[in-house]
Amino acid sequence: MPILILVIVSALSQIMVNSPSYSLSFRPSAGYTQKRLTENLKVPYYVGEQFSKEFTGMNLKNLERSVEDDYISNLRNNCWKEKQQKEGMLYRARYFGDSELYQRAQRARTPSCAKLSEITASLH
């Protein structure tokens, strides 16, 4: 009996959860096939086929603000990871005296940090 209740509660919670209105994926995915760009930062995102009927006016502006906030948050997280990886390489290179690894670490790019700086500059 307790297991049956657990299964029913789990099933009901799955039914009540709404799917997100957009996807920040780099390509179309199940249910998100129409590509759009936010008006302000031109962030690409994908939406479902009913999107234009559901989101207009302030709803659309609020959603696009949410898309941009999520995008910037993703950039911040990726930037942090890129910096950590670069610092780790530099540390290992110094610790082991590996000049080749040091040079590779110096050349390592941080594209998310560059994009984040670009967006920050355009906002101010």
Cα–Cα distance list, 29 to 46, 80, 119 (Å):
8, 27, 26
Exposed, middle or buried by CB within 10 Å (0-12, 13-18, 19+), for 49? exposed
Kindly calculate the radius of gyration of the chain based on its CA atoms and give it in whole angstroms: 21
pTM of the model: 0.81
pLDDT given for residue 16 in this prediction? 59
Residues in the chain: 124
pLDDT given for residue 15 in this prediction? 61
pLDDT given for residue 68 in this prediction? 97
Give domain limits for the chain.
18-123
Q: Which residues of the chain, if any, have pLDDT below 70?
A: 1-2, 4, 6-17
